[in-house]
Amino acid sequence: MPELPEVETTRRGIEPYLTGETVVDLVVRQPKLRWPIPDDLLLKVKDQRIASVERRGKYLLLHFPAGAVMIHLGMSGSLYLVAAEQPAAYHDHVDLVLSSGRALRLTDPRRFGSVLWQDKGTSHALLAKLGPEPLSDSFNAIYLTQCCKARKQAIKQFIMDSHVVVGVGNIYANEVLFSAGIHPKRQAGKISVARLSILVEEIKKVLSRAIEQGGTTLKDFVGGDGKPGYFKQELQVYGRGDQPCTVCETTLKEIRLGQRSTVYCPECQR
């Protein structure tokens, strides 16, 4: 699944080609994604200028005078900039046709993505209860300590909760807990303020580095500029179960936690 760095990489890739462009058409080949595409979406965006492209969590927001198109890539979605006349492939479900002659094309084999609308001045229900952005000042040790207080949930599942903080998906949760030296099953409420402070720093550091390097290359993701990400080369634990730890050479353990693959070092993480 594309995680925050992949979505941010996509935003940066498409933003220069979308900002200032006018939408001349909306082509919907498959309206039944995770949620149905609004029937009146064409009326809302046709002949309207894109003011900016923003990211909130894993949602991309294309801002128009009257509101914003909300795009989520789901588990397998990708956005491409193509010539508007380029024939669509089987999984190319939506085209936002621009005055430049290009089209922003959503490809989504599993159809778990979404294309929705948010009216100006409102907060869509899917965005209203999201936690702070991990790279913002509002996500800090004081905030995380308050959230963790008396919580018995495993810290890995806790930081993956978008109501606590957005964008820390499974890959990066594995990585930041390793970097912070925290066992993924440790109860959130039993971690000291000092260690939570380190965890906050590692979340910011790992996600920032992943964004800089273009996101993690997975089989279903290609950046908005057509170039794959490269952070996968630096993964310390994710996907490396039963391999030696890069720090102490202890064999990494792989377990299922919250139905997600979790890899950790039994020596480095406590």
Burial of 2 by CB count in 10 Å (0-12 exposed, 13-18 middle, 19+ buried)?
buried
Q: Is 163 annotated as a binding residue?
A: no
Candidate list 34, 186, 232, 260, residue with the active-site label: 260
Q: Among positive and negative, which fits the CA dihedral 265, 266, 268, 269? A: positive
Per-position b or e across 49-73, b if 16+ CB within 10 A of its CB:
ebeebebbbbbbbbbbeebbbbbbb
Query: Between helices 193-212 and 141-148, what is the axis angle to 10°?
Result: 120
Let me know if 212 is a catalytic residue.
Answer: no
Sheet holding 59-64, edge to edge: 52-56, 59-64, 67-72, 114-119
Single out the catalytic residue among 11, 55, 58, 102.
58
Alpha-carbon gap, residue 88 to 250, rounded angstroms: 49
91 is in an annotated binding site: yes
What contacts 211, CB < 8 A, 6 or more positions away? 4, 5, 8, 9
Q: Could you give the CA distance from residue 156 to residue 262 in angstroms, rounded to a whole number? A: 9
Taking the C-alpha atoms of residue 211 and residue 126, their distance in angstroms, rounded to an integer, is: 24
Answer yes or no: 3 catalytic: yes
| 266 noted as active-site residue | no
Residue 110 labelled as part of a binding site: yes
**Cα(first)–Cα(last) distance of the chain, in Å?**
28
Active-site annotation holds for 270: no
Q: Pick out the residues of the known binding site for DNA.
A: 91, 110, 151
Q: Which residues are catalytic?
A: 2-3, 58, 260
